[in-house]
């Protein structure tokens, strides 16, 4: 049986957010069935002053993409409309420059993945 690590990676995007990094990876099975993995990697300081990374991963299969996107958008809309002040919403809507959200198409990864 083929290990999930050996699946073909087609696309990857990295989003840095403080001590956390999020990876959105599109992969394909041998049968060209596509799925998305969403990984949260959080840097942790060890007692010996070195770092380790705690990872959490979600596998999202193509038949669930639309339901997932709809539920995520509903949750974001609820927070924006019901829980945040107008000032907080304005801050969320402010244009941002991201350096690390470019698609990844090969090469070596950082240690934080």
Q: DSSP assignment of 21-83, as one string?
A: EEEEEEEE-TT--EEEEEEEEEEEE-TTS-EEEEEEEEEEEGGGHHHHHHHHHHHHHHIIIII
User: Greater confidence, 96 or 17?
Assistant: 17
Q: How much is the mean pLDDT over the chain?
A: 84
For residues 28 and 45, give the distance between their C-alpha atoms in angstroms, rounded to a whole number: 34
pLDDT, position 104: 46
- Nearest CA-CA partner of 108 in 20, 2, 12: 12
Residue 94 main-chain phi, psi, to 5 deg: -65, 135
Q: With pLDDT > 90 as the criterion, what percentage of the chain qualifies? A: 60
> pLDDT per residue over 50-100, tens digit each?
989 999 999 999 999 999 999 999 999 999 999 999 999 999 898 877 655
pLDDT, position 23: 96
């Amino acid at each position: 049986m083929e290990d999930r690590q050996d699946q073909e990676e087609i696309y990857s995007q990295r989003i840095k957010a403080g001590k956390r990094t999020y990876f959105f990876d599109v992969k394909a099975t041998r049968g060209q069935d596509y799925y998305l993995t969403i990984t949260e990697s959080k840097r942790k300081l060890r007692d010996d002053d070195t770092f380790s990374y705690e990872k959490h991963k979600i596998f999202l299969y193509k038949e669930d993409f639309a339901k997932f996107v709809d539920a995520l958008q509903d949750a974001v809309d609820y927070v924006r409309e019901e829980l945040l002040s107008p000032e907080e919403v304005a801050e969320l809507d402010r244009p941002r420059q991201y350096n690390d959200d470019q698609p990844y198409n090969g090469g070596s990864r950082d240690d934080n993945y």
